[in-house]
A = this chain, B = another copy of it.
Amino acid sequence: MPELESKEHSVPGTDLLTLDRQMCFALYSASLAMTKLYKPLLSELGLTYPQYLVMLVLWERDGIRVSGLKERLHLDYGTLTPLVKRLEKQELLVRQRSPEDERQVILRLTQRGRSLKEAARRIPEQVAGVSGCSLAELEELKTQLCALRNRLHSHLDSHPEERA
C-alpha cells in the first residue's frame, strides 16, 4: 500500500520529518544537556567543556602538538588556536614552536596545569552520580556512540568532496 503522504497526513505516523523521530536530535540535545551538567563543576576549575577535553589530552600526554589535539578531538585549528591561547593566558600551559620544525607548536603543561588534574579527579564520579545511569549503562552507551562516531568519521574522511 503506497503511503500517500500528500500533505503530511492521511496515513498517520508515516511522516519521517518530525523532531522526535530524529536520532540526530536525540544526540544533539543529549550532548548539550551533558555540557550543561559539566558547566558548574568545570567552572570551579576555571575551565569550559572544550578546554577540559584539551586538558584531558594533555594530562595523558604532555608535550603534544596542536595537530595532535586536532587528530584526537577532531576539532580544527580555527577552534583550537584561540582555545589553546586562552589556556595559555590562564597559565595552564605554554606554547612553543618546535626547534626542528618551526611550523609546529608544542604544548607543555605548567606546574599549575599539572596540579589542576588533582582538582579534576572528583569530576567523573560527580557526573556519574548525577546522570542517573548505572556505570554499565554509561559504558554500553559510550561504546555505541564511539562506534557511530567512528563510522561517521570514516565516511566523512572518505567523502571530503561533499563538504558543500
Contact = CB atoms under 8 A, between A and B. Distances in A.
A36 to B, nearest CB: 6
Chain A, interface size category, equals 35 or more
A26 B146 contact: yes
Given A19-B56, A23-B142, A60-B19, A29 B149 contact: yes
Given A17-B59, A132-B151, A28 B22 contact: no
B29 A120 contact: no
A30 B152 contact: yes
A74 B17 contact: no
Contacts of A40: 162-164
A43 B73 CA distance: 25
Contacts of A1: none
Contact of A34 (B28, B56, B139): B28
Contacts of A131: 148, 151-152, 155
A53 B19 contact: yes
Contacts of A23: 138-139, 141-142, 145
Contact of A27 (B34, B44, B72, B153): B34
Contacts of A27: 27, 30-31, 34, 145
Nearest to A156: B36
A77 interface: no
A127 interface: yes
